Structure formats: C-alpha cells, structure tokens
C-alpha cells in the first residue's frame, strides 16, 4: 500500500497549499510529489553504466507551483521558497530566467533552478517565470536523495504544466544533466530513476546502460521483515570532492582497460592490468557490486532474505575497504545492527556519511535500534535518527 495518500501526506498537502497562498497571494496550479529513495544494493555503479536496485520510500518532497503570466511584472522570474527551517514566512530566492547559468544559484534553490535551466536547453521548450514552494520530509544529508526528490518533483510539475510529454527516462536524464552541469555534482542516474519509476512494495532493477527497468517484488511483509534506516546524522554532499575522486578513478580504470565503462568488465581477474593499487581497488568494487546486484535480484525472486542479508554485508565491506566511502559512524551502525540480530546491513547512498540500512525482522526493530544507539553513545557520536521505511510509489501529482 502506498503512503502517498496517507492522512499525514494529505495534511501536508493542504498545509502547503495554504502556505503558498499566504506567501504569494495566489493559489498554486497544483502540487506534485517525489519520494526519496533507499538503495538496497548497487552503489556507485550507476555512473559506471552498471546495475542498481533502489526503491522509493515513504518520505517525499512536495512542490506547489504556479506559472507567472505574461501580464505580471515577474513574468520572467523564478520565485523559489521552502518551508525548511519552519519559518512562518519563508524567504524567497528570486532569479531571472535569462540569468540561469551554472553557478548562478546556490543552496537548495539551485536544484529547482537547475531543472528549469535543463528544460530550457531543449528545442522548442521555454520555461518562463513561476512561483514555487517546497515542503520535504526527506532528511537532508542523510543519503536518501533529498536533492533528487526536489529536482524530480519540480520536473514532473513542469512536465505537466507545460505539457512537455517527457517520459520518465527522459526526465531522469534531464535531472541528471541539471545535477551534473548546473549544480556541479557528478552524480549518476539512479536516484532520479528510483524517484520517477518505482512502484509500491517493489524495488527497481535498473540497467544504467540501456535504461531498461523492471520491478522486483520485495517480500518483506510476507517474511515479517522491514528495512530500518539508521541516519548517522553525519551529513554528506555530492558536490564535495570525495565523490568526484571516486568517479575519476573509475574513468581512469576504464581508460587503462580500454573500455567505455567498467560495466564491460565482468571478472576481477581482468583488473590485473591496472598497476595503481588504489585505482584497482576502486574498479574491483564496481565489478563485484554489479554481480551482487544481479545475485540479489535472483534471491529476491525466490524470497530468500537470508541470502539478501549476506549480499548486503558483502557490499558494505566492499565500500568500506575497496571503495573507501564509509566512515566510522556507518561502520558502527552496520556492525551493531548485525550483532543485535539484523539479517543484513550496509551503508547506503553516496557515502562519506549519511545512512546505513538494516534488514530486520519486525520483532527485532527495538532490539536493533537500542543496540545501535548504545554503540553510538559509547563511541561518543551524535544520537542517530532511526526509522523504518516502506517501498512506495514513484513521483506524480499529489
């Protein structure tokens, strides 16, 4: 069952509608929603044109939008505001449409501005001025794709309002362009795709080379199991250098191996031609992670959660040791989860902070949560934010 029509979400929608009118003096033309995502497995494989297996979650960005008519003074201006920070009167970021360019907008407003900019790169498309107010409950910096939820909610809104007829795949590509070229974060295409294409109670098995996608049922309810998210509250950012450095290593490995992407490499033995041990380890993670995604799809289809759990931990070890994108807090969260009885656990998202996930029996939620909090307290870390998520529907009109 989808959470997109839950009483809580419907209450947020009505509250956003009222705040929009209070802020702008007009009613929005509509409200659109886009979920964050948890990546079950397949980390950093997307920009290597490999395989990923994310799912949309029941936390989302809501965007209210009204196009500014040609008769109004601000017809060629974007007015962007957010409820984040809980201010009664949100601050409006104003930017002229003809001044949209990479680097011209900073902070959270760069993401919806980037979408307008990317759409205006298309032939026969002219996105003019609009008013926007966003409300999101996707934790920022948690590795659950809060920025992509904002971008996707914006692009589905503009696609509807301007009747652009863009497919989910094309919208994913355009939001990736917005993220890469306007915001300056060299991300792949997984997060946008998960937010756009997911189905409730399913994971999305995506081939990032062909962009072919298929749903894979998550047999959680049948096994009385849940996905527990442990937000370490160590914020990360894809704009920072670690993410870009990993991507550069993958490109270097591909060049040495004379392939267009590491997707073409199927065995670790093929990596022996790479002399640099660091670059070789980075490439090893991509090759083995692609295989883990394929293996996870197979065992999910037969409902073997124990096998899924083993693959999740193998993925974490690879990210910790070969790709080196974990951190002490993530490692503690994963190990404490497993020691307390989790079926499997791994860090999720781009790394360098953010969240881990644990696959647990419902009866173990409290025990695992307690064990993680105790481990964090003993290590002197901030108290983590721990919550369960369900696999929810992809983006659309709210």
Residues belonging to the active site: 191
Which neighbouring-strand residues pair with 132?
A: 65, 80
Q: What does the DSSP assignment read for 288-330?
A: HHHHHHHHHHHHHHTT-HHHHHHHHHHHHHHHHHTS----HHH
Tokens 């644990």 correspond to 358
The answer to whether the CB of 203 falls within 8 A of the CB of 41 is no
Distance from the Cα of residue 205 to its chain's centroid: 15
Using CA atoms of 274, 279, 285, 291 in order, give the dihedral in degrees to the nearest 10. Answer: -30
The answer to whether the CB of 56 falls within 8 A of the CB of 201 is no
* 3-state DSSP assignment of residue 357: strand
The answer to whether the CB of 127 falls within 8 A of the CB of 97 is yes
Which of 368, 365, 305 lies closest to 332 in space, CA to CA?
Answer: 368
Query: Phi-psi region for residue 87, left (φ > 0), alpha (ψ -120 to 50) or beta?
Result: beta
Three-state helix/strand/coil letters over 190-255? HHHHHHHHCCCCEEEEEECCCCCEEEEECCCHHHCEEEEEEECCCCCCCCCHHHHHHHHHHHHHHH
Distance from C-alpha of 205 to C-alpha of 194, rounded to nearest angstrom: 9
| Residue 75 exposure: Cα atoms within 13 Å on the Cβ side | 6
Distance from C-alpha of 52 to C-alpha of 37, rounded to nearest angstrom: 12
């Amino acid at each position: 069952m989808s959470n997109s029509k839950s009483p809580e979400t419907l209450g947020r929608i009505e509250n956003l509608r009222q705040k929009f009118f209070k802020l702008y003096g007009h009613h929005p033309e509509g409200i659109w929603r886009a979920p964050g995502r948890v990546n079950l497995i397949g980390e950093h494989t997307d920009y290597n044109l490999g395989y990923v297996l994310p799912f949309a979650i029941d936390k989302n960005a809501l965007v209210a939008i009204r196009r500014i008519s040609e008769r109004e003074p601000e017809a060629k201006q974007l007015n962007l505001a957010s409820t984040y920070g809980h201010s009664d009167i949100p601050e409006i970021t104003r930017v002229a449409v003809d001044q949209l360019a990479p680097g011209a907008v900073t902070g959270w407003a760069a993401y919806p501005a980037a979408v307008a900019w990317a759409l205006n790169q298309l032939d026969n498309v002219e996105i003019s001025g609009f008013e926007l107010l966003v409300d999101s409950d996707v934790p920022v910096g948690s590795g659950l794709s809060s920025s992509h939820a904002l971008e996707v909610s914006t692009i589905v809104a503009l696609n509807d309002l301007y009747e652009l007829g863009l497919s989910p795949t094309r919208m994913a590509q355009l939001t990736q362009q917005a993220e890469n070229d306007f915001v300056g974060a060299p991300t792949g295409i997984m997060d946008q795709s998960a937010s756009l294409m997911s189905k409730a109670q399913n994971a999305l098995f995506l081939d990032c080379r062909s962009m072919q996608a298929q749903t894979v049922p998550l047999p959680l309810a049948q096994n009385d199991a849940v996905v527990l998210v442990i937000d370490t509250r160590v914020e990360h950012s894809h704009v920072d250098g670690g993410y870009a450095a990993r991507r550069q290593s993958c490109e270097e490995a591909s060049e040495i191996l004379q392939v267009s992407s590491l997707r073409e490499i199927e065995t670790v033995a093929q990596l022996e031609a790479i002399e640099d041990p660091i670059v070789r380890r980075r490439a090893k993670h991509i090759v083995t992670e692609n295989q883990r995604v394929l293996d996870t799809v197979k065992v999910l289809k037969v409902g073997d959660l124990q096998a899924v759990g083993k693959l999740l931990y193998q993925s974490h070890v690879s990210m910790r040791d070969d790709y080196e994108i974990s951190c002490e807090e993530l490692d503690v969260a994963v190990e404490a989860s497993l020691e307390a009885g989790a079926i499997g656990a791994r860090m999720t998202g781009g790394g360098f902070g953010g969240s881990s996930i644990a696959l647990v029996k419902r009866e173990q939620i409290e025990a695992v949560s307690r064990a993680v909090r105790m481990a964090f307290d003993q290590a002197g870390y901030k108290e983590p934010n721990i919550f369960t998520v369900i696999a929810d529907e992809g983006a659309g009109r709210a």
